[in-house]
Amino acid sequence: MLALLLAAALAPGVYTNEDDHYFARERNDPAIPAWTGVEVAADGRWRRIDWHGKALTDWATGDPPGLAQGDGRISLNTASGQATVVKKGETFTCWISTLKNAKKPDGKDDWTFAVARQSG
């Protein structure tokens, strides 16, 4: 697959194989890796999470199974043992806006803006 080297511990954060999973589905790859998420704590412990960030396993020590880094990529194993490429998530904020029923006093449209979801 990739020329990956055994790695040191991952930096704290959330890692998922969203791209690997999505593009394998898009190209109808018969070996689609299961969606995989791993949360790494500041002390190096890790646990598997679902795509909402809910813990699927207890915290564990050591490296996640199959962890390897090299060529600018990070790989680890899905829960079933299949190798997959993961990327570290970035903090983001999503904003939504919606048109209000009532117009502004000057007759122009009025909008409401709100934070829809914050990650990180």
- 108 is a domain residue: no
96, part of any domain = no
Residue 103 has a pLDDT of: 94
**H or E element, residue 26:** helix 18-26
Domain count, the chain: 1
Domain that holds residue 43: 5-90
pLDDT string in tens for the chain (120-residue length): 333 333 457 899 999 999 999 999 999 998 889 999 999 999 999 999 998 899 999 999 999 999 998 888 899 999 888 999 999 998 778 888 999 999 999 999 999 988 866 555
On whether the pTM is more than 0.75, the answer is: no
Other Cβ atoms within 10 Å of 84 Cβ, number: 22
Q: Please answer whether residues 79 and 34 qualify as being in contact, where contact means their C-beta atoms are separated by less than 8 angstroms.
A: yes
